């Protein structure tokens, strides 16, 4: 048997392995394979040191080990990668909020990987409008006179107030001085824009007289903010947009509404009763309405401002607009998404946020049973459990939608199973309820069933 010293001498050089065919033929970045080769040889040294081996494997074997290691790392090492959302939270801000429709995803790939007509008019052969398509569809869907797209809804509010009210004050109800996740606080935004915050009413009750009494020469706007992520119950009173519109017209000051989630079609039939419709807000008298592009609308992150043309034009001329403007990918995604809204039935079918929201209990139960069947077919065990999903993403607080979940049966602890699901090559994010791991079927897509079934079956078969 060779001594340890002799074995050490037999370890191949990194350069020699890098020239091995297994490595030259593999489809991985050279620097990543080189790092895997060094680590594979390091392990080999440890194995010699601890007397685990008494011969050196062939170069091909070592090269293959390095390639496997590099492939595994390539799969796990990208910071932003695909996961399976089994939390049942449709708009999960930590998981990237909305998923795009197929049409929008295709538009994104096309715009990203080629030159495009971003600001070019092919008919005239000259410079064209950057957001012409988006503006047309927004006007079709909401009836708006003009529109503007910025980086997100927080930027939209900042731009609106900076352009329209920086030299004066803005009247807001105390009950609407909200903080939306991630440090978006209405009072701070006001300060940033250089406008004075004129808070009226109390936390739970604000009346039209409160607004009326607050209006002065300095008032530049009335702002209404949708309380997206909380609910005040009990003795409450707020002033609706119609009444505020009458008041704002009387004093000739703009009425601005931040509706948050930006529902473009009626979502009441899914049980979302408190979500203002963009179209309704305009119809009821708001001069300017802002909302997110990646909440209920179902597009990429952006902020949408719609309303009065003169006011929108003022914002377009403001330097912040240039700083907040969106790229070709966002525009391509938004245009393709908005186009689907031309036919609400198609929107409901094709836009994942809407299809997940609209899924019936019968359909969800059927799909949960189907996934469960696949798990048994692969030798695992699981049960179907009735549960509740939430819309999430700062939309519709407290609202729960009846749903169904698949719960894997395993000898392992629930924490252990939940963690193992997160550690998979494509992580599955589940939730624990009543000491059970639940995979809510509402946010899972059918294309992932086989992968989930195989992973869960393995967990049942091989508890750790
Ligand atoms: C979500 C939300 C925002 C922030 O929107 P982003 O697009 O995330 O910047 C602002 N206002 C309201 C009412 C919201 O619900």
Q: Which of 350, 385, 408 is the last residue of a domain?
A: 350
DSSP string, 242-309: HHHHHHHHHHT--EEEEEES-B-S--GGGT-TT--BHHHHHHTT-SEEEEESSSTT-SSS-EEEEE-H
Where on the phi/psi map is residue 73: left (φ > 0), alpha (ψ -120 to 50), or beta? Answer: alpha
Pocket-testing residue among 180, 187, 225, 263, ligand 1, by greatest number of atoms within 8 A of Cβ: 180
Residues 295, 388, single domain; the answer is: no
Q: Is residue 20 in contact with ligand 1, taking CB distance under 6 Å? A: no
pLDDT of residue 236: 84
pLDDT of residue 309: 98
- pTM assigned to the model: 0.90
* Residue with CA at minimum distance from ligand 1 atom 14: 260
Separation CA 163–CA 293 (nearest Å)? 21
275 Cα to the center of ligand 1, angstroms: 13
Domain ranges, residue 32: 4-76
Structure tokens at 327: 């790229």
pLDDT of residue 195: 93
DSSP string, 193-224: TT-EEEEES-SSB--HHHHHHH--TTEEEEEE
User: In whole angstroms, what separates CA 26 from the centre of its chain?
Assistant: 34
* The residue count for the chain: 464
303 Cα to the center of ligand 1, angstroms: 8
Cβ-contact 83, 429 below 8 angstroms: yes
Separation CA 436–CA 410 (nearest Å)? 10
Separation CA 284–CA 281 (nearest Å)? 5
Q: Which of 294, 317, 350 is the last residue of a domain?
A: 350
Q: Is residue 152 in contact with ligand 1, taking CB distance under 6 Å? A: yes
Pocket-testing residue among 154, 297, 300, ligand 1, by greatest number of atoms within 8 A of Cβ: 154
Nearest to 321 by CA among 120, 158, 186: 158
CB atoms within 10 A of CB 113: 8
Residues 248, 184, single domain; the answer is: yes
Structure tokens at 5: 């010293």
Residues 172, 260, single domain; the answer is: yes
pLDDT of residue 50: 95
Range 127-161 burial, b when 16+ CB lie within 10 A, else e: eeebbebbbebbeebbebebbbbbbbbbbbbbbbb
Residues 324, 436, single domain; the answer is: no
Judged on CB neighbours under 10 Å (0-12, 13-18, 19+), 304 is buried
Pocket-testing residue among 172, 192, 292, 296, ligand 1, by greatest number of atoms within 8 A of Cβ: 292
Give me the half-sphere count of Cα atoms (radius 13 Å) on the Cβ side of residue 35.
9
Residues 267, 176, single domain; the answer is: yes
Residues 387, 318, single domain; the answer is: no
In 40-137 the beta strands, taken as DSSP E runs, fall at 84-85, 120-121, 126-127
pLDDT of residue 451: 98
Residues 343, 454, single domain; the answer is: no
Non-local CB neighbours of 16 within 8 Å, separated by 6+ positions: 59
Structure tokens at 421: 């699901």
The label of the residue with tokens 């695992």 reads 380
Separation CA 404–CA 392 (nearest Å)? 17
393 Cα to the center of ligand 1, angstroms: 9
Low-confidence ranges of the chain (pLDDT < 50): none
Residues 171, 296, single domain; the answer is: yes
Nearest to 220 by CA among 264, 161, 272: 161
Give alpha helix (H) positions in 1-85: 4-10, 14-18, 21-24, 30-49, 59-77
Q: Which of 306, 331, 350 is the last residue of a domain?
A: 350
CATH (domain of 365): 3.90.1150.180
Pick the atom of ligand 1 nearest to 259's CA.
13
Residues 337, 359, single domain; the answer is: no
**Model confidence pLDDT, tens digit, residues 63-119:** 999 999 999 888 777 889 999 999 999 999 899 999 999 999 999 999 999 999 999
Residues 31, 177, single domain; the answer is: no
Cβ-contact 259, 228 below 8 angstroms: no
Instruction: Report the DSSP pairing between strands 219-225 and 255-260.
Output: parallel
Separation CA 314–CA 331 (nearest Å)? 21
Total number of domains constituting the chain = 3
Collapsed DSSP state (helix, strand, coil) of residue 399 = strand
154 Cα to the center of ligand 1, angstroms: 6
Residues 127, 90, single domain; the answer is: no
Q: Is residue 224 in contact with ligand 1, taking CB distance under 6 Å? A: no
Tell me the β-bridge partners of 392.
395
Residues 46, 144, single domain; the answer is: no
């Amino acid at each position: 048997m060779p001594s340890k010293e002799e074995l050490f001498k037999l370890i191949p050089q990194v350069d020699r392995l890098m020239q091995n065919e297994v490595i030259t033929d593999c489809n991985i970045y050279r620097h990543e394979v080189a790092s895997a080769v060094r680590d594979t040889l390091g392990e080999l040294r440890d194995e010699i040191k601890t007397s685990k081996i008494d011969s050196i494997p062939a170069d091909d074997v070592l090269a293959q080990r390095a390639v496997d290691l590099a492939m595994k790392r390539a799969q796990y090492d990208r910071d932003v990668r695909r996961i399976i959302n089994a939390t049942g939270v449709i708009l999960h801000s930590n998981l990237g909020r909305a998923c795009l429709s197929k049409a929008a995803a295709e538009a994104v790939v096309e715009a990203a990987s080629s030159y495009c007509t971003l600001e070019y008019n092919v008919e005239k052969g000259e410079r064209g409008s950057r957001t012409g398509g988006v503006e047309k569809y927004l006007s079709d869907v909401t009836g708006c006179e003009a529109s503007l797209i910025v980086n997100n809804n927080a930027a939209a509010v900042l731009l609106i107030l900076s352009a329209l009210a920086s030299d004066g004050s803005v009247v807001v109800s105390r009950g609407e001085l909200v903080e939306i996740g991630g440090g978006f606080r209405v009072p701070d935004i006001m300060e940033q824009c250089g406008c004075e915050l004129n808070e009226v009413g109390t936390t739970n009750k604000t009346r039209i007289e409160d607004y009326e009494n607050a209006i002065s020469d300095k008032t530049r706007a009335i702002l209404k903010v949708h309380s997206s992520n909380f609910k005040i119950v009990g003795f409450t009173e707020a002033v609706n947009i119609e009444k505020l519109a009458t008041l704002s017209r009387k004093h000739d000051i703009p009425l601005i509404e931040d509706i948050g989630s930006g529902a473009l079609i009626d979502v009441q039939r899914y049980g979302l009763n408190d979500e203002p419709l963009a179209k309704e807000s305009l119809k009821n008298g708001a001069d300017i309405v802002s909302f997110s592009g990646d909440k209920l609308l179902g597009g990429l992150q952006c902020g949408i401002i719609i309303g009065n043309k003169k006011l929108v034009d003022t914002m377009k001329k403001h330097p912040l607009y240039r700083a907040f403007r969106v790229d070709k990918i966002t525009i391509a995604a938004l245009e393709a998404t908005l186009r689907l809204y031309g036919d609400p039935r198609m929107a409901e079918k094709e836009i994942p946020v809407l299809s997940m929201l609209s899924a019936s209990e019968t359909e969800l139960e059927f799909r949960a049973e189907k996934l469960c069947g696949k798990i048994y077919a692969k030798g695992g065990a699981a049960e179907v459990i009735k549960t509740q999903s939430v819309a999430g993403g700062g939309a519709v607080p407290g609202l729960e939608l009846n749903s169904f979940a698949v719960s894997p049966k395993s000898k392992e602890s629930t924490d252990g199973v939940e963690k193992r699901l997160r550690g998979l090559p494509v992580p599955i994010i589940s939730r624990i309820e009543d000491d059970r791991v639940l995979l809510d079927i509402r946010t899972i897509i059918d294309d992932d069933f086989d992968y989930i079934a195989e992973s869960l079956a393995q967990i049942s078969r091989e508890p750790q």
